[in-house]
Amino acid sequence: MLKKRENMKIRVNSEIGKLEGVILHSPGPEIENMTPKNAERALYSDILNLSVAKKEYRQFNDVLDKFTTTFQVKDLLTDILSNDKVKNDLISKIYLNECQMSKNGRYMNELLDQPEEEIARQLIEGRIMKKDTLTNFLDEDRYSLKPLHNFFFTRDAAVSIYDTVHINRMANKVRERESQIMEAIFENHPNFKAKTLNPLNSESFDDKISLEGGDVLVFSDNIILIGNSARTTTQGIDYILQEMKKLKGKHHIIVQELPYTPESFIHLDMVFTMLDTDKCMVYKPLIMDSNRFLTIHLSIDNGKVTINEEINILTALKALGHDLEPIFCGGNSDSYIQEREQWHSGANFFALAPGQVIGYGRNVYTLEEMNKNGFEIIRAKDLLSGKTDAEKYDKFVITVEGSELSRGGGGCRCMTMPVRRKPV
């Protein structure tokens, strides 16, 4: 594992530049702190088996440790809570937002009196409600602070765009604390040198703004791809547009409309991810075939915006000088297989470097298609045991076990929040 770097300057100018730093969160009891009754409220369609999910995630984490510097949310959070002002500000903000602070001041003070490690644990895993009043006794909820069931998908709460960390206003209130924690980390932890932006602090704030990192792909120095989805609104995209207008020169935002259902289309990275400088993984029925979902090109030239409709993402990129070869999720012959593997995050790959990616091993037809296109298939357990040496291959996909993790509704890109990549 690489040594942690203090003052790591935020820089992400692509999806595929060699990864130098990434934030992760290993799933813990918070993903089991739910029942079938409240799973839907927690944004799950089913409850996960923690012991299996932890085993699969450990493999995923161990692979990343071999290639880059990894940071864990809980460790970073514990570090910043040693600062009394940061601790008080963060917990006050959380209680004001979630718990009607005027009615829960005593419970907030009890939390503040705990050691930093325990506070961090409870902020993520949840805080059990004390049944010491009639109101609380009759409350069907078990938690006064609800568990952050989705936090192992660190992609969504904050996104690095160039030298700035955008703190996202996510679509569902149950995830707001994730963004608050990430904002506190980037503003206070010595490991990072970061400029942060939060739409809540914008003069032009619109209550309809929502934006999640799974919908944002940084393609190059001047091109960003954004999904207009059930989680990212047009107002959220317009917020990014206003920030891009402040930059000098020409910039482009390519917007892809996504279906609101089924839930496997939750973000753009569930249907489109970058694999190499000239290759991408796509879910063909949505990205390549004719359908009713628009692709829209926002061009920004020194603050002036023009908007045009495009045939698809690839034609828009080609017109900008980037000719990509698509590889199809689920292969190219059977629409049933394509649909099944897309459902299990078959298009959701995460790049360690150009042509070197990581994804779920369960999507065998997708992997076969990648192999036909020059990617060596390396099982994570073979890499970690030393049986296979990834350095022997220019292009490869490392396959991690993900039968349980994929049931949470995301893939390897979803579980990573890059903070620094080398230029391509």
Nearest in space to 390 (alpha carbons), one of 68, 42, 38: 68
Location of structure tokens 């207009």: 228
End-to-end CA distance of the chain: 23
pLDDT tens sequence across 38-55: 655 544 556 788 999 999
Say what the pLDDT of residue 409 is. Answer: 84
Average pLDDT for 253-257: 98
85-110 confidence digits (pLDDT tens):
999 999 999 988 776 544 556 678 88
Closest to 41 (Cα-Cα) out of 188, 120, 142: 142
**Bridge-partner residues for 226, per DSSP?**
216, 255
Question: What 3-state class would DSSP assign to 35?
Answer: coil
pLDDT band at 1 (very low <50, low <70, confident <90, very high): very low
Q: Are strands 304-310 and 295-301 parallel, antiparallel or unpaired?
A: antiparallel
CB distance 214 to 410 below 8 Å: yes
Q: Taking residues 386-401, what's their average pLDDT? A: 97
Which is more confident, 4 or 128? 128
Determine the Cα–Cα distance for residues 296 and 308; give it in Å rounded to an integer: 6
What CATH number is given for 8-79+148-421 in this structure?
Answer: 3.75.10.10
Q: How far apart are CA 368 and CA 370, in angstroms?
A: 5
pLDDT at 342: 96
Q: What is the DSSP letter of 163?
A: T
pLDDT for 102 equals 41
The answer to whether residues 93 and 27 touch, using CB atoms and an 8 Å cutoff, is no
Question: Where are the domain boundaries for CATH 3.75.10.10 in the chain?
Answer: 8-79+148-421
36 pLDDT more than 70: no
- Model pTM? 0.94
262-316 residue pLDDT tens: 888 999 999 999 999 999 999 999 999 989 999 999 999 999 999 999 999 999 9
- Asked if residues 313 and 219 have their Cβ atoms less than 8 Å apart, the reply is no
6 or 145, which is more confident? 145
